[in-house]
Amino acid sequence: MDIIEALADAVGARHVLTGADCAPYASDWTGAYHAEPLAVIRPANTAEVSAVMRIAAAAGQAVVPIAGNTGLMGGAIAPGQLLLSVERLNAIREIKPGPRLAVVEAGVILGQLHAAAEAEDLVFPLTFGARGSARIGGALSTNAGGSNVLRYGNTRQLCLGIEVVLPSGEVLDLMSELHKDNSGFDLRDLFIGAEGTLGIITAAVLKLSPRPAAYVTAMIAPRGLGDALDLLNGLQAETGGAVEAFEYMPAHYIDTHLAHVPGARPPFEARHEVNILLEIGVTARSDAEPLPDGTVPAMARLEQTLGEMIESGAVLDAVIARSEAQRREMWARREMAGELCYTRRPAILTDVSVPLDAVERFLVRAGQQIVALDPDAAPFVVSHLGDGNVHYAIWPGRGDPDHLEALIERIETVVQDLGGSFSAEHGIGLGKRGSMARRKNPVALGLMRQIKAAIDPQGIMNPGKVLP
- CA 410 → CA 349, 391, 468, distances in Å? 13, 15, 19
Together in a domain, 348 and 333: no
Taking a C-beta distance cutoff of 8 angstroms, is the pair 136, 220 a contact? no
Tell me, letter by letter, the H, E, C secondary structure of 386-449. Answer: HHCEEEEEEECCCCCHHHHHHHHHHHHHHHHHCCCECECCCCCCCCCHHHHHHHCCHHHHHHHH
Verify that 265 and 313 share a domain, yes or no: yes
Domain CATH for 54? 3.30.43.10
If we measure between CA atoms, which residue out of 327, 339, 330 comes closest to residue 130?
339
Residue 1 has pLDDT above 80, yes or no: no
Cα 56 from chain centre: 30
Does 151 lie in the same domain as 102?
yes
Last residue of a domain, one of 157, 185, 210: 210
CA distance 217 to 225: 19
Tell me the CATH number at 252: 3.30.70.2190
Q: Are 208 and 100 in contact (CB under 8 A)?
A: yes
Same domain, 330 and 306: yes
Tell me the pLDDT tens digit for each residue of 289-323: 888 887 889 999 999 999 999 999 999 999 999 99
Do 195 and 141 contact (CB within 8 A), yes or no?
Answer: yes
Question: How far apart are the C-alpha atoms of 330 and 345, rounded to whole Å?
Answer: 26
Question: What's the total number of domains in the chain?
Answer: 4
At 93, is the pLDDT very low, low, confident or very high (cuts 50, 70, 90)? very high
**161 and 78 in a common domain:** no
Residue 384 lies in a domain: yes
Beta-bridge mates of residue 246 = 278
| Residue 452: C-alpha distances to residues 105, 193, 329, 382, 467 (Å) | 24, 13, 45, 34, 9
The answer to whether residues 65 and 108 belong to one domain is: no
| 114-168 residue pLDDT tens | 999 999 999 999 999 999 999 999 999 999 999 999 999 999 999 999 999 999 9
pLDDT digits (tens, 9 = 90+) for 5-42: 999 999 999 999 999 999 999 999 888 899 999 999 99
Element housing 216 (H / E)? strand 214-222
Letter for the amino acid at 77? I
Please give the DSSP secondary-structure letter assigned to residue 290: P
With residue 288 as reference, give the H or E element that holds it.
helix 285-288
pLDDT tens-place string over residues 405-455: 999 999 999 999 999 999 999 999 999 999 999 999 999 999 999 999 999
* Nearest-angstrom CA–CA distance, 198 and 219: 42
Pick from 288, 320, 337: which residue ends a domain?
337
**Residues 281, 262 share a domain:** yes
Query: For residue 286, what pLDDT is reported?
Result: 87
Torsion sign over Cα 369, 314, 334, 152: positive
User: Does residue 419 sit within a domain?
Assistant: yes
Cα–chain-centroid distance for residue 264? Answer: 25
Mean pLDDT on 49-76: 97
In sequence order, what are the residues at sequence separation of 6 or more whose Cβ sits closer than 8 angstroms to the Cβ of residue 348?
Answer: 393, 394, 395, 396, 404, 407, 408
Q: What is the pTM of this model?
A: 0.95
- Residues 272, 400: Cα–Cα separation, whole Å: 34
What is the model's pLDDT at position 18?
97
Which pLDDT tens digit goes with each residue over 213-264?
A: 999 999 999 999 999 999 999 999 989 999 999 999 999 999 999 999 999 9
354/312 same-domain check: no
CA–CA dist 223, 225 (Å, integer): 7
Spatial separation of the C-alpha atoms in residues 158 and 153, rounded to whole Å: 7
Report DSSP letters for 131-171, one per residue.
Answer: TTT-BHHHHHHHT---TTHHHH--GGGGEEEEEEE-TTS-E
